[in-house]
Amino acid sequence: MATAVAEKPRRQDLPVDANLCEFCTAKCCRYFALPIETPEAFEDFEYLRWYLLHERASVFTEDENWYLLVHTVCKHLQHDHRCGIYETRPQICREYSTKNCEYEDEWTYDRYFETPEQMWEYSEAVLQFGSGSSIRSPKPSLLPVIG
């Protein structure tokens, strides 16, 4: 017999003083994101492609700012989604607030890249490379019209 999974309450349905962490799966402890320079030249995009060649790395933009996202779980996250070192947690964790956290599951980014091919295609469009420099196969010739 399957057990029913409790549905996570919506933020607006919780009391104002509720601790969202009691209802969340600790998304904020399952990755970290670092701001990176906005790519402007081919070499900049090559660095981003290099990042994406590594497992558990992605790149995203939010409000025109670029970030390297590393999908990795904090080693102190416990099975109940609580912090195992809460009293001695780092300052960045102490300053984090649930006020604007990604408690909702509908979180999206302005741009999101998971593969080096996606980054190449984006850089190709942004930098408008000349012919012959694309990693895509050349466009095939049109077939003759038979009439």
On whether residue 6 sits in a domain, the answer given is no
CB 11, CB 104: distance < 8 Å: yes
Encode pLDDT of 17-38 as tens digits: 888 888 888 999 999 999 999 9
Domains held by the chain: number: 1
- pLDDT at residue 3, as a whole number: 60
User: Is the residue at 8 inside a domain?
Assistant: no
Is 13 within a domain? no
In a domain, 3, yes or no: no
3-class SS at 35?
strand
pLDDT, greater one: 77 or 4: 77
9 assigned to some structural domain:
no
Residue 114 lies in a domain: yes
CA geometry: angle 6, 23, 114, nearest 5 deg: 95
Q: What is the pLDDT of residues 36-93, one digit of tens each?
A: 999 999 999 999 999 999 999 999 999 999 999 999 999 999 999 999 999 999 999 9
Range of the domain at 101: 19-124
Q: What is the value of pTM for the model shown?
A: 0.76
